[in-house]
Amino acid sequence: MWSDRRMKIARRPAAGRAAATIAPAVLLAVALLGLPILAQPGRAADDPVLVGAGDIATCDFEEDEATARLLDAIPGTVFTLGDNAYNSGTAAQFRDCYDPTWGRHRARTRPAAGNHEYRAAGAGPYFDYFGSAAGARGQGWYSYDLGAWHIVVLNSNCAAVGGCGSGSPQLTWLKADLAAHADAHVLAYWHHPRFSSRTATPSVAVRPFWEALYDAGADIVLNGHNHDYERFGPQDPWARPDPTYGIRAFVVGTGGAWLNRRLYETANSEVFAKSHGVLKLTLHADSYDWEFVPIAGGTFADAGSGTPHGPPPARTRTTFVAYSDTWVDQGSPNATHALSTRLRVDGDHGGGRDYRSYLKVRATGLSGTVFRAAIRLWVTNPTTDGPAIWRTSMTWSSRTLTWANRPAAIGAVLDDAGPVPSGRWIDFDVTEAVNGNGGYAFLLRSTSGDGLIASSEQGAHPPRLVVETIP
């Protein structure tokens, strides 16, 4: 089937050649009629164009060829948002499915890796196919410049590249790269979205990317993974609308794979559609335009403009170390663990029994408005699905707290962790619970059977509350 498809594609006329012959004719007609060619301030005819999508090539469908034809007629730099060659990113799938379609534009493509690429060991065929354009083998993150814009490409397959959080090689590189390009407008892209109407909660794994980009004043984030088109209004990394300093995000998983329907009404989502096509971004010196271009026969379209901004105001960060913590064991309902050097959280450590952890912290000397607050734990044993955190009552003592007398959670869940590596800090966003000076107590409870262990107040890295305030 694949060889027949390559032959069929080879016989098709090259849409790019047709488009190239039309444009000069249009310009000649304009010149003969004596019509002026108007340019808006800050916009030039040769402003760079970035065009692409994610979730692209499969030999089982023809829509990837339809989106490739759109690229034939659109000049500029081509981006991919991962899952470039289905179903497993093998060398054969890149050769037989991707190369006859989007591969026509490989010389001008700057790709990102998806999770399907990593079904092949180390995403080897992906790095083989794109070469140096994909970044260093084993990493997959890199950056480049387009006019006044700095483009950052990240690898959201966090477990495969040493993590994405605090202390990871990728996040360390990202912060340094952003600092070195502080005067540029910033656009970033990778595979897995933080926000999507296909998932009930935001992705925790890529939140550190958003936090670093937001602090640097980034303007646009592009993602794939979910097979749809979705545009979000400007927001901060914690899903709060921010029309002044927020990042505008697009999910563009529309390159050729099957499409999926909307599952949730996600905050700040402005547009959602099931439509194959590509996103075209024109990057001006002081603005940007976006346009979703559908394949032939498609009726959905989306277009608009935005204005770049600088970084948000500086925030004052204050850290408070927990003064009391412990954990309780369903299997030993009357036992206390006040002197333990560990905090344990597990949804099923045997026979349906749970571990839960509690901690207290007191904030003092804060001034201004709380912008963000986070409980920070030092992880000593990793998990593939981390715990969730709630507020709880202050009326307990670590010396006497047991499973039998444990206080309940108060209100809704504040945050829920995803995969958590060991030997580094993890943050739980508790902004909704912290409004200034005072005492706060929190409960950590697992939402999976894969437990987590962190350092306690008695350990080498006690838990802490990190509060950021603005004047």
Buried b (16+ CB within 10 A) or exposed e, 81-107: bbbbbbeebbeebbbbbbbbbbbbbbe
What is the secondary structure of 14-68 as a DSSP string? -HHHHHHHHHHHHHHHHHHTT------TT--TT--EEEEESS-B-TT-SHHHHHH
Percentage helix, strand, coil, to 5, in the chain?
20, 30, 50
Burial-class residue 148 by CB neighbours within 10 Å (0-12, 13-18, 19+).
middle
- pLDDT tens digits along 355-386: 999 999 999 999 999 999 999 999 999 888 88
Please state whether the peptide bond connecting residue 223 to the residue before it is cis, i.e. omega within 30 degrees of 0.
no
Compute the distance between CA of residue 202 and CA of residue 268 in angstroms, rounded to an integer: 12
Residue matched to tokens 């697992």: 446
The answer to whether residues 307 and 271 touch, using CB atoms and an 8 Å cutoff, is no
pTM of the model: 0.79
Q: At 130, which helix (H) or strand (E)?
A: helix 124-130
Domain ranges of the chain: 45-306, 316-470
Question: 316-470: which CATH topology?
Answer: Jelly Rolls (2.60.120)
Q: What are phi and psi of 8, to 5 degrees?
A: -65, -45
Strands 109-110 and 77-80: parallel
Architecture of the domain whose range is 45-306 = 4-Layer Sandwich (3.60)
Q: Over the stretch 123-154, which tens digit does the pLDDT of each residue have?
A: 999 999 999 999 999 999 999 999 999 999 99
* Alpha-carbon dihedral sign for residues 177, 179, 180, 183: positive
For the chain (471 residues), the mean pLDDT of every run of 10, in chain order, is: 38 33 35 40 80 96 97 98 97 98 98 98 98 97 98 96 91 98 97 93 89 97 98 95 97 97 94 98 98 97 97 95 97 96 88 90 96 95 90 97 98 88 88 97 89 95 97 89
